[in-house]
Amino acid sequence: MIATSPLLDVRDLTVFFDAGDGRKIHAVSGISFVVEEGEVLGLVGESGCGKSSIARALLQLPRPAAGRVVFEGVDWTRASCRRLRRLRPRLQMIFQDSVSALNPRRRIGDAIAAPLVIMKAGSPKERARRVLKAMHDVGLPEACQRQLPSVLSGGQCQRAQIARSLIARPKMLICDEPVSSLDVSVRAQILNLLEDLRRRYKLAMLFISHDLAVVKNISDRVAVMYLGRLCEVAPAEELYRAPRHPYSRALLEAAAQVDTRQPAAPLSLVPGELPSPADPPKGCRFHARCPVAEKQCSTTDPRLEEIGSGHVVACHFPL
């Protein structure tokens, strides 16, 4: 039974925040997806659509308002806080801002060892050995071990964060915009590093980014999100070649406009602004900006439906 169930199984995940004026921000509204062992699921969508909220809800930081998060057969939403502390090193997170993800007063070596200390794993000697191994894996010179994050470059801090996330030998990483604040040349180094580690350790990943080219480069499947909802999930090649949701198409057109190898083409997107997640539109959340929307779209919320093998889309009139 366990052997056939996915590594991560997320059902109806729902996250609210307080808007401060008595309203509720619908950050994540009933999202379901799975990640198989060794698989990379990319998650794209514009800022504020709820990507980071999903990432944190998976780790129960804070606990989601509703839904299940089953990882390696354990439902994390029902685990006690004490149990969660021990579980979290199994599902590590890498953040965009690597410099502030590291404690400025803690030496790099100690920061990398932290998950082992939390898990009470290994003797101090064994931990030291594993820290060096992890640093080697991510290409950090040994000299960095005793240094503080402030003397490292952005790329080195990101490597340290990756080393820390790997030290407990997790089955899966959650990468939240891991290369967005890095320079182009350093970004390629880190992406290659993640790719190498994924292969070597058969790591699964949830890879979050607003950059569609970056996501395609590393993902097996890609999920597109708009205002707290999933629009479309499909194998990466298929989604980029023939998107079926009008929002996926608009995102790809926008990405093609800043791609060095694609001619610029106009966006098929109704001009306007992202609606407020405190007051999400009725029906399909994308309808006001959708060039092919019909009456039904403003009244009835489309459900995610399978339209091809491993390809689901939430649209009344898929392309």
Partner 1 sequence: MTASFPNTAPPILAVENLRTTFRTERGPLTAVDGVTFSLGEGRALGVVGESGCGKSVLCRTLLGLLPPTARVDPAARVRFYGKDLLGGGASALRRLRGREISMILQNPMSSLNPVMTVGAQAAEPLRVHTGMSRKRAWKRAVSLLAAVGIPRAEERMKQYPHHFSGGMRQRVAIAMALACGPRLLLADEPTTALDVTVQAEILDLLAVQRRTRRMALILVSHDLGVVAGRTDEVAVMYAGKIVEHAPTPALFANPRMPYSRALLESIPVLDNAPHTRLRAIGGSPPDGLELPYGCRFAPRCSRVQPRCLQDEPGLDFEGAAPHGFACWNPFPLLSAGRQGRNGPSEWRRT
Ligand X SMILES: Nc1ncnc2c1ncn2[C@@H]1O[C@H](COP(=O)(O)OP(=O)(O)O)[C@@H](O)[C@H]1O
Position 104 contacts partner 1 (CB under 8 A) = no
In single-letter form, the type of residue at position 36 comes to E
Site for ligand X in 247-306 (CB under 6 A): 277
Which one among 72, 201, 210, 317 touches partner 1, defined by CB under 8 A? 210
Which position has the token pair 């990466």?
Answer: 236
- Which range in 106-114, 115-123, 167-175, 182-190 contacts partner 1 by CB under 8 A? 182-190
Q: Does 48 bind ligand X (CB under 6 A)?
A: yes
d(CA 137, CA 135) in angstroms, rounded, equals: 5
The phi, psi pair for 221, rounded to 5°, reads -125, 160
Q: Which does 200 bind (CB under 5 to 8 A by kind): Mg ion, partner 1, ligand X, none?
A: none
- Of 111, 214, 284, 297, which lies in the binding site for partner 1, with binding defined by CB under 8 A? 214
Residues that bind Mg ion (CB under 5 A): 52
> In the complex with partner 1, which residue's Cβ is closer, 12 or 259?
259
**Per CB under 6 A, 49 contacts ligand X:** yes
- Minimum distance, C-beta of residue 112 to ligand X, in the bound complex (Å): 26
- 180 counts as binding partner 1 under rule CB under 8 A: no
Which of Mg ion, ligand X, partner 1, none lies near 236, with the C-beta cut-off 5 to 8 A by kind? partner 1
Q: Concatenated DSSP letters for the chain?
A: -GGGS-SEEEEEEEEEEE-SSS-EEEEEEEEEEEE-TT-EEEEE--TTSSHHHHHHHHTTSS--SEEEEEETTEEGGGS-HHHHHHHGGGEEEE-S-HHHHS-TTS-HHHHHHHHHHHHT-S-HHHHHHHHHHHHHHTT--GGGGGS-GGGS-HHHHHHHHHHHHHTT--SEEEEESTTTTS-HHHHHHHHHHHHHHHHHHT-EEEEE-S-HHHHHHH-SEEEEEETTEEEEEEEHHHHHHS--SHHHHHHHHHHHHT-TTS------S-S--PPPTTSPPSSSTTGGG-TT--GGGGTSPPPPEEEETTEEE--SS--
Q: Confirm if 168 and 15 have CB atoms less than 8 A apart.
A: no
Interface segment toward ligand X; rule CB under 6 A; list 47-55, 86-94, 127-135, 303-311 = 47-55
Residue type, 205: M
Nearest distance from residue 54's CB to ligand X, in Å? 7
| Cβ 218 vs Cβ 194: under 8 Å | yes
Is 261 near partner 1 (CB under 8 A)? Answer: yes
Q: Which is nearer to partner 1, 114 or 267 (CB)?
A: 267
**Binding pattern for the stretch 7-46 against ligand X, x by CB under 6 A and - elsewhere:** ----------x-------x-x-----------------x-
Task: Return the residue of 19, 186, 288, 292 that touches partner 1, per CB under 8 A.
Answer: 186
Q: Which long-range contacts (CB under 8 A, 24 or more apart) does 297-304 make?
A: 304/32, 304/230, 304/233
Residue 277 contacts which entry, Mg ion, partner 1, ligand X, none (Cβ below 5-8 A, type-dependent):
ligand X
The CB-of-275 to Mg ion minimum distance in angstroms stands at 18
Partner from Mg ion, ligand X, partner 1, none contacting 242, C-beta within 5 to 8 A by type: none
When CB distances are held under 5 to 8 angstroms depending on the partner's kind, the choice from Mg ion, partner 1, ligand X, none that residue 216 binds is partner 1
Residues that bind ligand X (CB under 6 A): 17, 25, 27, 45, 47-53, 277
Q: Which residues contribute to the site for partner 1 (CB under 8 A)?
A: 46-47, 153, 155, 183-189, 191-192, 195, 210-214, 216-220, 236-237, 240, 250-264, 266-267, 269, 271-274
